[in-house]
Structure 1
């Protein structure tokens, strides 16, 4: 071969061979696996997916340098965990108790010149999955539970407020009704006291007519009717007063032995004239020696009501 060959020895010495780096093995808790079994994704972005229980692991790598391989070192760092380059003479990067998240493992081959800027960097993405209770779906469930709890507390508070409001309204209504009832009762009580005076004025003259020796039987008959009815009205007035006393707790029953036969005879006698005026056949039959332990006033009122309702 004819010709001339010129070699620049300086440039040839400066040019450095930079081998490719390959990831080979994955070790999890002293169990070695082929790293390719854990690699996922497409060609543009490949990554290793690990469970949260596999957060202590080691990744092996190798540079295809058959000349200076024995004297070479590696540097690596795990982005998002530790941004400091770690030097090692072994071809393995070890990590312990890595939190769930996304990381990038960067490895560079130092060759015989560790500080060279021309060193090629190989990288691989690592994803450590969170536990099921920290996944996105779990967090959504937690959020829904929190919102549901807040809504439940709101409904509970609203319901309690409504119940309290209803209770207060009922108490106010009861208080108002009681006050109105008390006013009406006081009104009727005052009226009954006012009626007592004219009835007493009527009752007095009727007694004088009955006791007057010059009164004939006809006058005495109707004077007796006037007297009986005034006494009856007084009894009704007394009932209202007694009812008021019972409402205020001041009414006391006096239980004693009463002559039932005598009381019935006196009350039925006062209704004889009313029966004659209305052409009603009215009479009474009772044991003449009947006695009973009861309140005299209450018994008289009950008997008067029964006979009066019968006439009505």
Structure 2
């Protein structure tokens, strides 16, 4: 006699959602919202906007879970090609803002094609390698790496160094999981180390170099580029190991940062809350 599955589990199975994964995600998200409310100085506007974003994200996750894996296998090549075409269009006709040409403006909507590539690259690499015996051959590994590098370079010349690093990392992670040769990994690490000086001197823009230098010496510009890091250090030193408590963070409650930087990206906000 088959063991009867509880109704609650049957519901989640029908929704194609892993219950433990969902509960873990919900717990982390809920705690993050809890932290954000304190760190933002009890900003209801910011809190409400994040709730809307989280709700939409959960809805999209639920919707995407209803499609079988074969749907995404068929979708991957089209999504990848669409992403490449859009990145080329951005480089040719994209809208420039704050020195970066990252957006396509269609009149009724303005968006960054690099967001599509974030999903398309690891999905395409996974489909390509998944249709072949694993671990992949050397030639197949190089083809997969080429699939990663083409959109990565198109994103990097916008310039958008952060997104390009994310794209290449997500793609290489899939190659690594497929059984990439450790000799290739070692060669990639050595090659990357050798490439850093070239990237610093010839490929990075002034503002990107400024960010790195500011990270190393924020006191050179305490009210400008170094403000973010200095406030982080002050808050960590003030809160210590365990923080000051709920709604007691000095930097957040006294609004040292609200007019200067984005709240969601700062480590010191979490430290000040706990």
TM-score past 0.5 threshold: no
Please identify which structure carries the higher helix content. 2
Max radius of gyration: which structure?
1
Please identify which structure carries the higher strand content. 1
